[in-house]
Every structure is written in C-alpha cells, then in structure tokens.
Amino acid sequence: MNNFSYIQANSAKEATGIRQATPQAAYIAGGTTLLDLMKAHLAEHPQLVDINALPFKGIEQTSDGLRIGAMERMSDVGEHPLVLQQYPAVSESLLLAASPQLRNMASIGGNILQRTRCGYFRDAAFPCNKRVPGSGCPALEGDNHNLAILGTSDACIATAYPGDLSVALAALDAVLTLENAKGKQRRVPVTEFYVLPGKTPQRETVLEPGELIVAVTIPAAAHARRSTYLKVRERASYAYALASAAVGLDVQGGIIRSARVALGGVGTKPWRSPEAEKVLTGAPATEATFRAAAAAALRGAQPRDDNRFKVELAQNTLVQALLKVA
Amino acid sequence: MDTEPKFFETNPTAGVVGQPLNRVDGRDKVMGRARYSAEFNNLPGLVHAVLKTSDVAKGRITGFDTTAAMKQPGVLAIITHQNLPKLAKTPNDAEGKKAIGAPMGYLPLTDDQIHYAGQPVAVVVADTLERAQYAAALLKVQVAAEKPLASYEDPRAQLFDPTKIQDGKAQAHVVRGNAQAAFAAAPIQLTHKYTHATNHHNPMEPGATTAHWEAPDRLTVYESTQGVTRTQKALSTMLGLATEQVRVVTKYLGGGFGCKGSCWPHTILTVQAAKFVGRPVKLALTRPQMFTSMGHREDQTQTLRLGATKEGKLTALIHEKTSTTSPWDNYAESNSKIVNMLYECPNFEASYQLARANVMTSTFTRAPGEAPGSFAIESSMDDLAYQLGIDPVEIRLLNYAEKDSSTGQPWSSKSLKQCYARGAELFGWSKRNPKAGATRNGRLLVGWGMATASYPVHNSQGTARARLYADGHAVVQSGATDLGTGTYTVMTQVAADALGLPVEKVRFELGDTKLPTAPNSGGSVAAGTVSSSVYMAVQDLWQKLIKVAVLDKKSPLYRAKLTDVEAKQGRLQLKADPKKGEDFAALMKRADMADVEGNGQGRYGSGYEDAQAAANADPAKKDEAAHHSMHSFGAHFCEVQVDPDLGTVRVTRWVSVHGAGRILNAKTARSQIIGGSVFGIGAALMEGTVRDQNLARYTNASLADYHIPVNADIPDMTVEFIEEHDPYINAMGVKGIGEISTVGVAAAVANAVFHATGKRVRELPITPDKILGTKSV
C-alpha cells in the first residue's frame, strides 16, 4: 500500500469539498473494500476522507418507504425489525453476505459500491479493461467460471457488483439519494445506478466524481413483504454468489398480482428482469409459471466455456426462490 | 545395552500417555507469548524485506529501473540477479540440487530468466515493512515476455516418461504379474479418468524467515519450516559454511501440510539480503505469494483400469497418471503406491507421464500420492460394488489384503476390518438403501458413501536428550517441529510416563538445530520417531542411574546385576523382586548428583532387533526376522445432502475410524483426524487453484477466491481409534496420524454424491457446475 494522508470529515459539505480539491482522494467508511484494493495496488489514493462521522444514519419509515442511511452497517440493517418484517429479501441478502466481522464494519453505501471479484481485475499483473482501459480482457478466453452471462460486452464480462444487497434493492425498486459538492441531492433508482460495461467497463455507476450516497429508500409493497433472497455458492458461507435471486410476489387467490425479480452473480450488474416479471404478473403462482419466468430471464444469456452452467443454475435458483414465496 | 525395553513393558498401566491432555503450549499461544518465526522483532537493527515477483510466466529480464524506489526514505537495498551475493552452491544443476536437498532445481535471482508467474525477481529491503512494500511497488522491472505453457492440458504440451518421479525417489514404472493380459481377460472391466485440481497448502502461518548473521561465519535463521535440520543442511550447503555454523530455530509453526517440508527460495534470498545489508532481515510471504513460493499439489489426471471377476474379486489394476511439472524437475506424487497395496490383486501396472510447464515445482502435500491415488481406486471400487450389486464395505472385505500385495510382506499390524465394522456401526451403515438416488430429505438428495484409508509408516530415525534433576524436574529435548498438532504435548506425556513424573515437572523443548537431531515433521513420522527417541533417552538415563546404584553400598540394589534391574515409574528395582529398590531421588541425593542425562535414538523397525539377533544366532529362526509392511489403516463414512437444482453438496455426517498404532493423546489425535478430514473435504468439494491457460498465472490466489471449508461446511465429526499394538515399528508402537486422515476422504464424499444422485463425479473439486444435470436420475 502506498502512503496516503487521512482526514476525518464532519459534514457532507466538508467531505465533498476535499474531494473537489483533491480529485484522486477517496471516501472511506468501513474500509472493507477500499483497503483491500489499495493493498493490492488496484486503487491508489493520496488521501482518504473518513466519512464515518457523517449524519447519514437511521432506519426510518417515510412516506416513500423505508429510508436507510448510507452509513448504517450491514449487520444493523440486516437485523433491524422493520427490514426483517417488510423487506425480508434485503435482510437475507445482507446476512448471507461476507462474515460477521465484515458485516459489522461495512457500510450500506460501501456495499453498494463494492468492486468485482473477477480474478483478472483483482490481480494487477493481469491485463484488465476495467482497471486499465484498452489493456484487454483475458477472462474472455480464460477462467470465467464465476463471471457474467448477462449484460456482457467484448470488453468485459465481470460481475461488476459481486455482492448481494444491491440485487435485493434492484428487485424492490429501491432509490438512492446522492449528494454532490454543491450540496445538491438527486434520486437515482438502483436499477439505473449501475451501468453496463459496453466499451467503457471502467465506468460502473452513474455516480459523479465526489458525489456521496446519502441514503437508500425502499418503497413499501406487498411483494416486498413477501420477498426472499436465495444465494448459491461453492461453500456454505463466506463466499460470493455463483448465482442468486431476489424475488418478491404478491399472490392473491393463487394469482400473482405483482412480481419483482432480480438476479445476482450472473449479470454485469444487479440484474432486474422485467421479462420474468412480465411472465409472472397475472399468471398462476405455479412451478410451471416460475419455470417460464426463469427461461425468460435467461433468454439473452451469453455464456462462455466455464460459466455455461450458470444458465441452468440461475434459472433453478430463480425457480426455487419463487417457490419459497409462492 | 542388550535387549531394549519397550514402552509397554516398562509402563504396563501407562499414566498420561493416551490421555486427552490439554496442549501444554495452548496457553502461550492464546496469550500471544508463543513466538513464531516472523516474531523475533527484538533482534538488533532488524529490517524488512519483501519480494518483488514476476507478472508474466515466461520471459527475460532486460533491465530494472530502481531510481524511484531507491530514493524512498528507509530503503536499504534492492537485490536482483545482478547483485545477489554469490553462493557456494545453487540447485541449478543436479549435483547442487542433490547436495542442498532443494525442492526445486532453480533458484530465482541467479540469472535473468523468468520461468513462472510469481517468480521472485528482486528483494527490496527497508527499515520498515511499509517502506519496503512501497519501494517494491515503485521498482520497475523490464521484461521481454514470451508465450508461456500453462499445463499438461495445453495442446502444445509435450508429454514424456520421467522414468523416475518424486525427484528420483520413486520408480515411474511398476509391473507386478501381467496386468494387461489379466485386464483383457477380466469379465468385469472398468476404465475411468480422474482429475484433480491444483491444490495449495495454505497453512495459517505463511512462509517466513528471519535471518541474523551474528558473525561472518555464524548465521541464525528463525524459519517457518517443518524441519530445522533439513533447512540447516540446505542453507549451509548453499552458503559454503560448515553445518554447525548455521543455526535454524522453529519454536512454533502455524501449520505446514508439506509446503514447509523443504527449503524454498525465499529463505536463502532473505539470508543473502541480510548479508547484503549487514543487518538482521525478516521476510514474510504475503498470502498471494503463498501460491507461488512453496509448491503445491500438481494438477493431474489419473486413468485407472480395473479388472475383476463376476464375483467382484480384483484381477488387474492398471494406473496411469499425467501431471504438470516445472521446467527443471520430474516431480509427481506417487499415486500408484496406494493403488498397488490397498487390496489383494495379483496383477498391477503403473506408469507416469509429465509435461513441463511454466509453473514452479510441485511438492508433497498432505498424503502426497495417497490422497489423489485413493480418490481413483476408492471411486472405482465403489463403481464395482454398484455394478455387481455388492455393498461397498462388502466389496472391500472381499478384496481384503491379508498381506501387502505390492511387496508380498505380511502386515506389522492391521485393524482395517475392525475399522470397517466399528465405522459402519457408528454410522448406521446397515440401514443404507442400496439403490442410488433413492433417498430424499425433502427436496434434497441424501447419499451415503465410504472409503478405505491407508498410509505407510515411513523409515525414519531421530535422537533426543533427557536430563533429570535430583529435585524431580526434567528437561527433554529433540530438534523436532511441532506443526501445531501437539508434538510439545505428546512428547511431554511420553517423557513424564517414562520418568515417572507428573507432566508439570517435565519440559519438552524442540525446534532448534542446537538440540539433538530429529527428522523432518513430514510423512507422519514425527510422533513415532520422536516419541521413541524420548523414550530411549530416558531409558539411557535410567541405565546410568542403575550403574550408580549397583556400586552404592547404601543402595538396596548394591551388587545387583545390571540386567536384573529395571526402572518403573521413577523407581529403580529388581525385576525379580520389585520391592527391592529405591526412588531415583534418594539415590541421586546420596550420590550428590545434581542431574543425570540420557541420550536416545528412536529407530524405525526397532522391533526387529531381538528377532534379528535371534536369527543371527540360529539360522532356523531367519523367518522370524523377516520384515513386515507397515501401514496405518482406516475407514471414512460420509453422508451428503445434494441440492439437485442448485448443485450444492453439503457433508452432513462424518465418521472416521482408524487403526494407527498407539495413540499418544486422545484429544490432539482426534483433532488431527478432524483436521485431515476437513482438508480432504476441501479437496473434494471446493479447493482448486485455477491457472489461466494462456498466461499461466493463477486467477484465484487469495483465500477469498481459493475456497477452503468454513465451519458451516463441516458437521460434527465422529472419530474413533481401534486400539492397536504394533511390536515392530518403533519403541513406542506409534504409526503417526498426520496424513491418513486425508486419504480416502475425497472418495468417501464422491461415493456419497453418487449414492445421492446416481451421478459419478470423477473431477475434483465437486462444485455445483459438476452436479447440475443430475435431476433426471
């Protein structure tokens, strides 16, 4: 790790001001992602701006839904009664992630911004278009067993967001509140926050330089109360998903009134599937419907040599998740 | 001394040996007082080294730009092939490699060539670790890269017959009977391929070296090694010093699993860095560097052809292995050994093929050969059982080897039938549904599998010293290593019983070349050899005291014949009349002896010494001295639950029963069997290092991405031992359990997966991608 200076910001204004003065500076909250990246020379910042003292706290009911401060910790949010009752998929996505120690440190904002686990990105000795634009993507013809099959491009097939929370947030129409150096706030749905790699895989979100994540708001809904997050991984705990599904259903009289579906571990971003939701909405809540929805969700998949299994795995994961809340 | 007493003779009701004593070093470890090799931080002027390693897997170094790095405050040296202090010998030629005992026939920084990704190209030394790391990041290495070759699977790979494997220690070709003809004639013929991913040992403690030149001809190295003596030999040979001029210390080790069994390049590079800067230097490998610094279990494919009668009796086994090796060495684990001896089979043939690739040399990894070899034979035996409709335990009993087929020798002891029976009983095997894919727990498929385990008792000698003080305290020493598995504890127990002292009165010291020489802690030899050495050292000490007693007019043993006196539980007494004798303390006090010291040698096969003497005296008794095949045996029973939709396999029940000679400590032994089983479950279900096939560089060299089991992957495990008395192997009758616990584990899991799903997975690890598609069984 290279030397860096450290400063604690006491307000959003102060934090964004420092970032404006030193564009290469980075915000640090829990540090569970950033320090790893810096130690491996995947990110180099001359200055870290500690935002832990910022007032982006609280888990509260608002007219727009449940508002969660970006500085809340994964463990606190995952175990919060309102989250457990109203958004089980969110709670499960948080508590199935990482380890207790990491969940106690990692902030919600930081989780949303975590970087890919693609082995080629994580080792600076490899070429990687995401890390060094134009250097190439050895994953295309290399080890791609846990890389994306949806939303890929010739430049990048990484699951840019490897985690769990944003998959649940994407499914349940969560909206991020962002704040820039001028103190101006804007609201961006999670589904629009992440961008596809295309020719510019180095750009992963619509976050502007210096902009902070203030909060995430999840609207209340019947399908949110009846939601779940299913995660498949190579060991029972402490591993990233090979495939995951966040689903929510509102079923009345055996008919699905509304449905929410997002997949993790298979897309270059948290993969909301309107195609699957279209199949589900208005259809009977049966396994046959769920299978049809799963097929629709994976219709555009572009698997490669090592990750071909994910087409079937993702469909099965989605079906099992739907069966759980049917 | 004529006939040597055996432990079971002097300790008919052994005191603490075998008891589940807590670790004597446990408190020091949890209190942070136990100092590991990278924790000798109070050496005067200690500075820090880091390795700069190669990004590419093949090429030539054309230059370095050291300007920015050298400008940094605190940077003391950048050592490359251009300025590495000259060595008396390197392993770069066959003679040097052999003299050094090096695991790899190439030492980085001896020329400008790059042979593998992660190869050290420079050592950066600075006054703090952070400054060394930063300078290493600033150091620029110019390389003319070439296209590397990643493995034997590359179409460009050239396979060759190595003639000898394991660095020349084992023959690559073994032929017994006529396996080809027997296989061709066999009514049942099974031919299957088994692949095993590259595995890395990844002990908790990384490789670490602290080198301190106390004088130009006196070096002390604190080293994370499984053998201080082997490291001492390697370093003194490379440096051109006398053996005694190099001292190697390893007081505590945070695991090894074989990767610390040899002296790897980073150790001598640290020593040379210390010479270069004239100060003590410390180097600890980073976790990513652990994947390219201390060997690995090689990626490999085995083809096993099994011929059998319709009744299920084996008639032929033909084993072929193909694996990747480095540009210099012919290393391959000897998988065929266990295939050759596990069952009775009259015809056997084995061969090996290697391909050179741009990887470092692989090395022994817990149960080298036995672990992957058992995956092949024990999977195929399961196939045979299903094909013939015979219970998997029954098929193994049907082919039970009453003697070692590979040598024709009888076993020194073998409790395998008891292991099967007890394991089956503990597991409830009799309730097994013989049909595969027929047992469910809700949506999950439930499967039961089992496999045989075996591991040889390797030839090994060692020495120890015991000093008993008149006040009833003792210090016992041997230059052995405790990998963290309990050597300190079990040797304290053995010494306490042999001395007749409470364990609190005995201190056992190890891990220093200043102490009597012990073998590498590898090949499961430490427990047997060191415990026997300790026991013999105490017997030597008693003999010295007996000699004093029989000359002491005030002793009840005055004028007794030496051979008529024995020592039991700290008391010297007449064998014929035990009441006649005295405690050692009384004798030593009268004789004004402050202490008495004994030296002992633990010898492999010491049980033959009496028989050999008898055979020498009487040719008719020659057969009694004939040697035995010495092995531990065991059986694993496993239940898995497989999610047919999601492809996940979870081990839900586990039973292991082993017969491994005398068990020195029930608690540490149980822990070691659990650890070895977890190690095997890791290899079975999740462990695999992936080398990019174009760039020959690992893509998952971290513990976040190279998965090992976490607690949630492992159920409660039931472990038992069959009480076994082996009179031949060594004075303590101890076989060692470090490795047998891993043998057969992957097959037991794979066999359970087959029973659950009806799908035979022959490719490790059994990850979800290999299970999917099992729904329509």
pLDDT value of residue B11: 58
What Å distances lie between residue B643 and A316, A324, B749, CA to CA?
A: 11, 15, 15
Is B739 part of the annotated catalytic residue set? yes
**Quick one: A211 exposed, middle or buried, by C-beta within 10 A (0-12, 13-18, 19+)?**
buried
Q: How many domains does chain A have?
A: 2
- CA A26 to CA A163: how far, in whole Å? 21
pLDDT digits (tens, 9 = 90+) for B289-339: 999 999 999 999 999 999 999 999 999 999 999 999 999 999 999 999 999
Q: Does the CB of A3 have a partner CB in chain B at under 8 Å?
A: yes
> Is residue B775 pLDDT above 60, yes or no?
no
| A127 domain residue, yes or no | no
* DSSP code string of B312-356: S-EEEEEEEEEEEE-SS------THHHHHHSS--S-EEEEEEEEE
Helix (H), strand (E) counts: chain A: 13, 12
Q: Which helix (H) or strand (E) holds A52?
A: none
- Is B645–A319 a contact, with Cβ atoms under 8 angstroms apart? yes
What b/e sequence results for B345-360 when a residue is b if at least 16 CB atoms lie within 10 Å of its CB, and e otherwise?
bebbbbbbbbbbbbbb
Report the candidate in B735, B737, B733, B557 with the shortest Cα–Cα distance to residue B6.
B733
Is A234's CB within 8 Å of B645's CB? Answer: no
CATH number for the domain spanning A23: value is 3.30.43.10
Residue A49: inside a domain, yes or no?
Answer: yes
| Pick from B255-259, B413-417, B522-526, B607-611: least confident | B607-611
Instruction: Name the domain boundary from A13, A28, A53.
Output: A53
A239 at B interface, C-beta within 8 A: yes
Question: Of A147, A191, A164, nearest to A301 (Cα)?
Answer: A147
pLDDT of residue B618 exceeding 80, the answer is yes
CA angle B288, B291, B292 (to 5 degrees): 105
User: Nearest to residue B275, comparing CAs of B310, B226, B240?
Assistant: B240
Chain A contact for B702, CB < 8 A? yes
pLDDT in tens, B424-479: 999 999 999 999 999 999 999 999 999 999 999 999 999 999 999 999 999 999 99
Percent of chain B surpassing pLDDT 90: 93
Contact criterion met (CB below 8 Å) for B429 and B419: no
- How far is the C-alpha of B693 from the C-alpha of A260, rounded, in Å? 40
Q: Which of A28, A53, A78 is the last residue of a domain?
A: A53
B655: closest CA of chain A, how far (Å) = 20
* Contact in structure between B266 and B208 (CB atoms under 8 Å): no
Interface residue of B54, B151, B153, B646 to substitute, partner A, most A CBs within 10 Å: B646
56-75 in chain A: CB under 8 A from chain B: none
Asked if B694 and A3 come within 8 Å (Cβ–Cβ), the reply is no
Q: Which residues in chain A belong to E strands, given as ranges?
A: 5-8, 26-28, 47-50, 59-62, 65-69, 175-179, 185-189, 212-218, 227-232, 243-252, 255-264, 271-272
Are B130 and A1 within 8 A, CB to CB? yes
For residue A313, give the chain B residue with the closest CA.
B646
CA distances from B283 to B82, B232, B615 (A): 20, 18, 55
| CATH number at B7-34+459-603 | 3.30.365.10
Q: How many residues does chain B have?
A: 777
pLDDT in tens, A154-201: 999 999 999 999 999 999 999 999 999 999 999 999 999 999 999 999
Residue range B712-727: mean pLDDT, rounded: 96
For residues B129 and B644, what is the distance between their CA atoms, to the nearest angstrom?
49
> DSSP string of A90-147?
HHHHHHTSS-HHHHHH-BHHHHHTPPP--TTTS-TTS--TTTSTTS--GGGSS--TTS
Q: What is the mean pLDDT of chain B?
A: 95
B465-500 pLDDT per residue, tens: 999 999 999 999 999 999 999 999 999 999 999 999
Report how far residue B114's alpha carbon sits from residue B143's, in angstroms, rounded to the nearest whole number. 9
Tell me, yes or no, if B711 comes closer than 8 A to chain A by beta carbon.
yes
Q: What is the largest CA-CA distance in chain A?
A: 62
Q: Is the dihedral of CA B366, B369, B372, B375 positive or negative?
A: negative
Q: Please, are residues B478 and B463 in contact by the beta-carbon 8 Å criterion? A: yes
Residue B252 carries which DSSP code?
Answer: -
d(C-alpha A68, C-alpha B440), whole Å: 42
Q: Is B705 on the interface with A (CB under 8 A)?
A: yes
Out of B647, B693, B712, whose CB is closest to A313?
Answer: B647
The three state secondary structure string of B11-40 is CCCCCCCECCCCCCCHHHHHCCCCCCCCCC
Whether A264 contacts A167, CB under 8 Å: yes
Nearest to B414 by CA among B263, B267, B629: B629
**Domain hosting residue A26, numbered range:** 1-53
The verdict on A17 touching B (C-beta cutoff 8 Å) is no
Min distance A67 CA to chain B CA atoms (Å): 32
Which pLDDT score is estimated for B8?
Answer: 61
A126–B694 C-beta distance less than 8 A: no
Flag whether pLDDT at B525 surpasses 60. yes
Cβ separation A145–B647 shorter than 8 A:
no
From chain A, pick out residues whose CB is under 8 angstroms from the CB of B698: 119
- Identify all chain A residues contacting B56, using CB atoms and an 8 Å cutoff: 125
Smallest Cβ–Cβ distance between A2 and the set B134, B697, B707 belongs to B134
The answer to whether B535 and B7 have CB atoms below 8 angstroms apart is yes
C-alpha B234/C-alpha B100 separation (Å) is 4
Query: ∠ at Cα A99 (A97, A103), nearest 5°?
Result: 75
Predicted pLDDT at A2: 78
B774 has pLDDT over 50 = no
Report which DSSP code applies to A73: B
Torsion of CA B418, B419, B423, B425, to 10 degrees: 0
Inter-CA distances, B721 with B418, B420, B664, B665, B730, Å: 10, 12, 11, 11, 19
Asked if residues B227 and B520 have their Cβ atoms less than 8 Å apart, the reply is yes
Domain B366-457+629-771 class, CATH top level: alpha beta
Residue B288 with chain A: CB contacts under 8 Å: 40, 123
Q: Residues B523, B458: contact at Cβ < 8 Å?
A: yes
Q: Which of B55, B700, B710 sits opposite A125 (nearest CB)?
A: B55
Q: With an 8 Å Cβ cutoff, are A232 and B686 in contact? A: no
What is the token pair recorded at B775? 């729904």
Q: Give the whole-angstrom CA distance, residue A198 versus residue A155.
A: 7
* Annotated domain spans of chain B: 7-34+459-603, 366-457+629-771
Q: What is the per-residue pLDDT across B739-762, written as a single tens digit (0 to 9) for each?
A: 999 999 999 999 999 999 999 999
Contact flag A141-B694 (C-beta cutoff 8 Å): yes
Of B692, B697, B772, the CB nearest to A313: B772
Give A266→chain B minimum CA distance, Å. 14
